[in-house]
Amino acid sequence: MVAPVITILTEVYTQEERPYFGSIHAFCEEFFHYCQREGIFFYVCTTDSSKQGSEEWQGYVCTEEGNWELTLVPRPHIVHNRIHSRKRERSEEFKQFVHVLEEQQIPYFNGHYLNKWEVYEGLSSVVHLHPHLPKTYQLSSKDTLIDVLANHPTVFIKPIHGSQGRNIFKVAQNDHAYVLDYTTFQQALNKEYASFYDLFHSLYHHLKKQGFIVQEAIELKTDQHGRPFDFRLLCHRNKQGLWKVTSSVARISSEHTFVSNLAQGGAQLNALQLLKDLYDEKTALHLLLLMRELALDICQELSTNQSKIFGEFGIDLALDQEGHPWIIEVNTKPSKQLYQEANKVRPSTKALLEYCLYLFQASNR
């Protein structure tokens, strides 16, 4: 069988007068070299790359000198969507690009972002996942927040379309005030408000800009230094199209913040090592296995109930004080900026190519 042509769809910027692929630039280089080693042609494309009915596209190919050059390339067999912007995914250019793919029967995966409310609704319909889902509500009015705070003394307010720990508010009640914690600014903001009216007035100019959910705050386990942490489990479909956990890391919040995202200053550690620092070896292994099984359940449920194909998810889980795992977030376009050893191909990169080959073979049956 002929080798497939694979492309990654993303935005292209200019840095030092050269094409630059934003946060996935290093990943594209890694993927290119791995594809080259495996005898597979790979390039990077944009929504402007395709021409309706044409066998030739325009794409960015890496030269022997390590530069990316725009040139004519063959039409791809597989497209992996890594567009960073939700707004761009709603654009007419993106819709036209997808129309070309569907018209030419070119498989593409991770075709769109899933928002937080979609994820919650999808997972809350699965009974055995209920014990792992924090109570979550769509913030539709001021009364919603009043009602949720009446039942939960501490809550998180998260943007439905948010990512990388940005624009998340933490609201806690004590005997005489509401305490607002907001870490998206250059420095942490922590303010007290004597009344709910004052709190909501302060929040309103943020909340009116986009949709938000309100989520009960779980009292999470902390490390030896009192810092909250969570786990990112990167999951991919394998060469049989079945979900597997490719990697798992622990992410520890930086000082004075409540989010562990690396983009917000969090640190990354080996997941099992962190668990062994906090529990005996048997318990640590059990908890890691439990989280791996939970992550695979999440992937299976979400991908089964979507009209588009998904081949990669980043699942964020955390443990409470009793060691019970909770679902924090599901990422359809997980970060490619995690730790990488020089000259080594990450398991996640190998897994993505494996799934591309599966899609190619499935489309040629």
Are both 191 and 234 inside the same structural domain? Answer: no
Tell me: pLDDT of 52 over 90.
Answer: no
Residue 339: Cβ-neighbour burial (10 angstroms; 0-12, 13-18, 19+): exposed
Portion of the chain with pLDDT greater than 90, in percent: 77
Tell me, what's the pLDDT at 185? 45
Task: Read off the pLDDT of residues 89-143 as tens digits, 9 standing for 90 and up.
Answer: 999 999 999 999 999 999 999 999 999 999 999 999 999 999 999 999 999 999 9
Tell me: pLDDT of 262 over 80.
Answer: no
pTM for this predicted structure: 0.91
Are both 125 and 180 inside the same structural domain? Answer: no
Are both 239 and 94 inside the same structural domain? Answer: no
Tell me: pLDDT of 186 over 50.
Answer: no
Task: Read off the pLDDT of residues 201-210 as tens digits, 9 standing for 90 and up.
Answer: 989 888 887 8
Within a domain: 272? yes
Are both 235 and 196 inside the same structural domain? Answer: no
Residue 307: pLDDT band (50, 70, 90) is confident
How many independent structural domains does the chain possess? 3
Are both 72 and 93 inside the same structural domain? Answer: yes
Range of the domain at 92: 5-111
Are both 99 and 233 inside the same structural domain? Answer: no
Tell me, what's the pLDDT at 164? 65
Per-residue pLDDT averaged across 209-230, rounded? 92
**Ramachandran region, residue 200 (left: φ > 0; alpha: ψ -120 to 50; beta: rest):** alpha
Are both 77 and 151 inside the same structural domain? Answer: no
45 or 182, greater pLDDT: 45
Tell me: pLDDT of 352 over 90.
Answer: yes
Task: Read off the pLDDT of residues 318-338 as tens digits, 9 standing for 90 and up.
Answer: 999 999 999 999 999 998 876
Are both 70 and 88 inside the same structural domain? Answer: yes
Question: HEC string of the chain?
Answer: CCCCEEEEECCCEEECCEEECHHHHHHHHHHHHHHHHCCCEEEEECCCCCCCCCCEEEEEEECCCCCEEEEEEECCCEEEECCCCHHHHCCHHHHHHHHHHHHCCCCEECCCCCCHHHHHHHHHCCHHHHHHCCCEEECCCHHHHHHHHHHCCEEEEEECCCCCCCCCEEEEECCCCEEEEECCCCCCEEEEECCHHHHHHHHHHHHCCCCEEEEECCCECECCCCCEEEEEEEEEECCCCCEEEEEEEEEECCCCCCCCCHHHCCEEEEHHHHHHHHCCHHHHHHHHHHHHHHHHHHHHHHHHCCCCECCEEEEEEEEECCCCEEEEEEECCCCCCCCCCCCCCCHHHHHHHHHHHHHHHHHCC
Are both 124 and 263 inside the same structural domain? Answer: yes
What distance in Å separates the CA atoms of residue 76 and residue 107, rounded to the nearest whole number? 9
Mean pLDDT for the chain overall: 90
Per-residue pLDDT averaged across 157-182, rounded? 86
Within a domain: 344? no
Are both 202 and 77 inside the same structural domain? Answer: no
Within a domain: 338? no
Per-residue pLDDT averaged across 295-311, rounded? 93
Are both 127 and 141 inside the same structural domain? Answer: no
